[in-house]
A and B are shown apart, each in its own frame.
Chain A
Amino acid sequence: QKEVEQNSGPLSVPEGAIASLNCTYSDRGSQSFFWYRQYSGKSPELIMFIYSNGDKEDGRFTAQLNKASQYVSLLIRDSQPSDSATYLCAVGNTDKLIFGTGTRLQVFP
């Protein structure tokens, strides 16, 4: 079992819809959770982090964490074509940060 798992996609959503990106992790001792966005040919960019169970909202982005289910998600409201990118989930366990392989999101007009 991979330490951090994501569906590779692509996830295709129409402009204006909600995009839901999901991630599961294996280490119950994990403390911090991150979402990075990576445009094609660019390096990953941190967009959200969350520590506590529940929701954390920042503009059109909402991160959701459920430690009991070892599940973290990212919701993007009012999706725009400019949101089309690969979204990487990263989990800070007891040792270091572990990345998932990413989900490719495509937002079509």
Chain B
Amino acid sequence: GAGVSQSPSNKVTEKGKDVELRCDPISGHTALYWYRQSLGQGLEFLIYFQGNSAPDKSGLPSDRFSAERTGGSVSTLTIQRTQQEDSAVYLCASEGGLAPYEQYFGPGTRLTVT
């Protein structure tokens, strides 16, 4: 596709359940980021994949959060035993434009934990 896609667009889950969020980056882009944005707040970096290198997981808030990127393309962010404070918009960004670090964002997944 022409841009970054994310699914689902909205997810409502009960506290304690696991959720999986998916990101399809722009074809050919080598780097992929996950961010979290709470209402009215800035972007919170979660994790960064670059090619075949080990991911930078320094932003993951707890061990309930994990992510993988299969075949250097699609990425899945998994949140185990969700908590109400996990409610936020989860944004994926694909990097690989003409400028170093040039990123393009997907539409996000709005997660609500009840």
Residues of A near any B CB (own CB < 8 A): 31-32, 34, 42-46, 49, 51, 88, 90, 92, 95-102
Q: Does B71 contact A (CB under 8 A)?
A: no
Closest residue of chain A to B101 (Cβ to Cβ) is A92
Partner of A49, one of B41, B99, B106, B108: B99
The 4 closest A-B pairs by CB, nearest first: A92-B101, A101-B42, A43-B105, A97-B101
Residues of B near any A CB (own CB < 8 A): 33, 35, 41-43, 45, 48, 56, 91, 95, 99-108
Closest residue of chain B to A8 (Cβ to Cβ) is B42
Q: A32-B100, A44-B105 are in contact. Are A100 and B42 (CB under 8 A)?
A: yes
Q: A96-B48, A96-B56 are in contact. Are A43 and B101 (CB under 8 A)?
A: no
Question: What are the residues of chain A within 8 A of B104 when measuring CB–CB?
Answer: 46
A and B contact pairs by CB, cutoff 8 A, 28 listed = A31-B100, A32-B99, A32-B102, A42-B107, A43-B105, A43-B106, A44-B43, A44-B91, A44-B105, A51-B99, A88-B43, A90-B101, A92-B100, A92-B101, A95-B56, A96-B33, A96-B45, A96-B48, A97-B33, A97-B95, A97-B103, A99-B42, A99-B43, A99-B45, A100-B42, A101-B41, A101-B42, A102-B42
Question: What are the residues of chain B within 8 A of A102 when measuring CB–CB?
Answer: 42
Q: Is the CB of A43 within 8 A of B102?
A: no
Q: A99-B42, A99-B43, A102-B42 are in contact. Are A49 and B91 (CB under 8 A)?
A: no
Q: Is the CB of B102 within 8 A of A34?
A: yes
